[in-house]
C-alpha cells in the first residue's frame, strides 16, 4: 500500500488537486484515458477505483518483484521512480508518516505571491 500511497501523493497530493493534467491524465492517480480503459473499473475520479486500477497496472508491469520497473512504466522518469521509492520507504519505516503526508496542504507560488489551494482544487 505504501507505493500506491506514494504515487497518489505525488500525482495529486492524495486527491487534493483535481482535474485534467496538461497531458490529459485524470483522477487521483492521474490515468490517461487509454490506460484507464485497460486497467480501470468504475470511475477514474473515485479514489478506491483509481487506486485499485493503479495496483493492477503496477502488477502487470512487474510489481511486486520489480517495483522500480513497474513505477517507471507508470511514469517513465527516473526522478519520479526515486521520489515514489523515497516516500514509500518513509511509510514502510513509519506508517504514521502517511498521516503527515495526507494532511499536507498545497501551496502554489504565483506572480502575486504564495497561494494556498483549497482541497479539491480543479484548475
**Band (123; pLDDT cuts 50, 70, 90):** low
The pLDDT value given to residue 6: 97
How would residue 120 be classed by pLDDT, with cut points 50, 70 and 90? low
Per-domain boundaries in the chain: 2-122
Class of domain 2-122: mainly alpha
Whole-model pTM: value is: 0.86
HEC assignment per residue over 52-104: HHHHHHHHHCCCCCCHHHHHHHHCCCHHHHHHHHHHHHHHHHCCCHHHHHHCC
- Percentage of the chain exceeding pLDDT 90: 71
Amino acid at each position: 500500500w505504501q507505493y500506491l500511497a506514494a504515487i497518489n501523493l505525488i500525482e495529486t497530493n492524495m486527491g487534493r488537486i483535481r482535474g485534467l493534467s496538461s497531458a490529459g491524465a485524470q483522477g487521483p492517480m492521474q490515468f490517461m484515458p487509454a490506460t484507464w480503459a485497460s486497467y480501470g473499473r468504475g470511475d477514474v475520479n473515485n479514489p478506491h477505483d483509481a487506486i485499485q486500477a493503479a495496483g493492477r497496472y503496477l502488477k502487470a508491469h512487474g510489481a511486486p518483484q520489480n517495483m522500480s520497473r513497474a513505477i517507471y512504466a507508470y511514469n517513465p522518469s527516473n526522478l519520479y521512480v526515486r521520489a515514489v521509492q523515497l516516500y514509500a520507504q518513509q511509510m514502510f519505516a513509519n506508517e504514521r508518516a502517511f498521516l503527515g503526508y495526507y494532511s499536507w496542504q498545497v501551496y502554489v507560488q504565483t506572480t502575486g505571491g504564495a497561494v494556498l489551494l483549497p482541497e479539491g482544487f480543479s484548475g
